Chains A and B, each alone.
Chain A
């Protein structure tokens, strides 16, 4: 549906603007340094030292960062979180490089980016997508609950009861159109809310949905799993498990947690959702929905008046994240402070300077923006937090302070947004085109640029593969799996070529559908005979 791929680096506008901004930024930088000095005690000195030296040689980095928010609405707050603590640390490796003329540097950077957008990003998406599919396929093929028919979603009132193929198809088309209508309406509601800045409503919605997903759907899943394997477990144990699981999930998704944990929860949520689709959509409808949603995805992202596109543009105008919630991110984008301390200590040195810079940049930008008023306190909090963290990183009690409370809001907003978009699906039961979640974003960081894929993409990939595996033929499952991976690969290649937000569903789902039907109809009869006769080709 709304999956689209987003790449930030190519924003020409951003580049131009950046050039224009430079002066302003510098000013801001110095300003922020002052502030920093006022607030931090020990670290300030280093801050001050480092900042000026960094800013120029690292122009490329800086630019990228700036673009990010503009290009795809990456949240500044995000950036602040993870890397920030490092900022304050002294950075011995910080090279005091000579200044490059800006133009030259930019060119170099551009080329480098071109080159760097490479294979490992593809792999970073391959792995989670495969894991998500694995969970779904394993569940579908071992627990019969998810393949039993009978109950259907509210949105699919036509149950394909007729024996006639034409009637079934007619039902499926009507169901799919109803679903699509729901999706479109919800998207428009979301955009309206967003345009009117009703963040509270959106966030409440998102929080509620993730709560639902993490507790109720998990408990359902667990019960069916236990039933499937014929295991007994008492309610007390179940509730303790689910409670812990859900709370940790809420914390790590909406607030902070180790990156791996967060990714694991996102993958799990995506697989739960796709299991729901597999279970509660009638057979033909499901195929029809997959097709319709990919087309919708294409339209919504690429059309000049497409809702997702409008959303992205609005977010860019406001220079704020388009709900980043429920985007699977392969790097530390959404990681939290705590994690930054522990996990990053290894790379921290090397990255320290860069992150510092990013952070500062973000701050500066924020200050400059019209939202400065709103963000002001947050910024403060963040900065203080940073200071605290930077120096007391090891203490581990950096958490629950006033600043924390303040900051939490911010963070929650960010995360919830992501989540929300995804979760909205939930009540709707259908994929709504949430623009944001499914942005597949190639985010540039100097060494480690993360790739992002909306959870909606995960969900629909898994729905396809899971549904195929429900028919019990592993050949078709493998074929679809390979086809989807290749589709994803092609999408990423196109992302590198076109350098703008792209829908991630159409190519993959088209490949998947083509390979499902061709394998099912043509290949399987052939391979079955080969296998039963033990002939090898």
Chain B
């Protein structure tokens, strides 16, 4: 099971993000840079929450404390990242080599930053587990959950996607000053993270997290200007999507065993 499990879990968690990266980001240098930079901001957020966690020695055993503050730090850094992008917009325009799409369409940047946050957070929560999967060793000898690895991978994927959706919702909320959405993002993040405190009770945590993911996905899809028409257009592969609706399509596919949803920017098409 070792190597097979490694590849299986790795692909569950990182397959969709990697394909999203390959299809929507890799071709555009500026998006790639933004992805790396937003990942860097997530790292900073993690660093600050770790400092807090290490500084408050008394509460180190209560992980819930560190977790909640980490969520808040992440959202704070998402906001700082947003501010930075706002400031850098002029420079971005210059640097994007005449490709103004990324500046004109705010959702692209939001999506890219969301994916940056998601990928790095997924990586941080899973890579060491993945490295352990290759063995040597066996999981579950001491009545530990047998499906620890698969559950970790599936939850990681959910969080990667959640970060993408949160990114879109968050940026949109600030742009349009819809603070309800902002509250939704933060609460949803808190809820999703806190629900994982119940692990390893996967029958509760996994469905909840995935319901939140699908909800946020639909929400982000609508916010970004998607509708059934855009889905139809995307399926038919027509290029007649109008500029208002071209923004973002979200295809939500629910699988039996692991559900995966992929948000694809259709910017290319238009």
Contact = CB atoms under 8 A, between A and B. Distances in A.
On whether the two chains bind one another, the answer is yes
Contacts of B192: 536
Contact of B125 (A115, A518, A527): A527
Contacts of B71: 537
Given A525-B54, A531-B128, A482 B36 contact: yes
B54 A123 contact: no
Interface stretch (A277-285, A398-406, A472-480): A472-480
A519 interface: yes
A478 B120 contact: yes
Contacts of A485: 36
A122 B156 contact: no
Interface in A443-486: 472-475, 478-479, 482-483, 485-486
B51 to A, nearest CB: 6
A522 interface: yes
Given A115-B94, A535-B193, A530 B67 contact: yes
A534 B148 contact: yes
Interface in A103-125: 114-120, 122-123
A494 to B, nearest CB: 13
A478 B199 contact: no
B40 A122 contact: no
Given A535-B67, A536-B156, A537-B193, A122 B33 contact: yes
A334 interface: no
B95 A526 contact: no
B46 A523 contact: yes
A531 B125 CA distance: 6
B216 interface: no
Task: Give the one of B46, B51, B120 with max A CB within 10 A.
Answer: B46
Interface string B117-159: 0001101111111110000000000000000100110011001
Q: Is the interface of A mostly helix, strand, loop or mixed?
A: helix
A482 B125 contact: no
Contact of B33 (A119, A519, A530): A119
Interface in B26-62: 28-30, 32-33, 36-37, 39-40, 43, 46-47, 49-51, 53-54
Given A118-B29, A475-B128, A535-B196, A482 B50 contact: no
B74 interface: yes
A114 B121 contact: no
A461 B235 CA distance: 44
A536 B159 contact: yes
A275 interface: no
B97 interface: yes
Interface residues on A, range: 35 or more
Contact of B196 (A117, A473, A536): A536
B66 A526 contact: yes
B63 interface: yes
B24 interface: no
Contacts of B54: 521-522, 525-526
A536 B120 contact: no
B251 interface: no
Nearest to A532: B129
A528 interface: yes
A118 to B, nearest CB: 5
Contacts of B193: 535-537
Contact of A475 (B97, B124, B151, B196): B124
B129 to A, nearest CB: 6
A303 to B, nearest CB: 30
A489 interface: yes
A482 B120 contact: yes
B197 interface: yes
B70 interface: yes
Given A122-B33, A523-B46, A537 B97 contact: no
Contact of A489 (B37, B46, B96): B37
Given A118-B30, A126-B36, A526-B46, 10 more contacts: A119-B28, A119-B29, A472-B131, A485-B36, A486-B40, A518-B47, A518-B50, A527-B50, A530-B63, A531-B125
Interface of B: 28-30, 32-33, 36-37, 39-40, 43, 46-47, 49-51, 53-54, 63, 66-67, 70-71, 74, 94-97, 120-121, 123-131, 148, 151-152, 155-156, 159, 192-193, 196-197, 199-200, 209
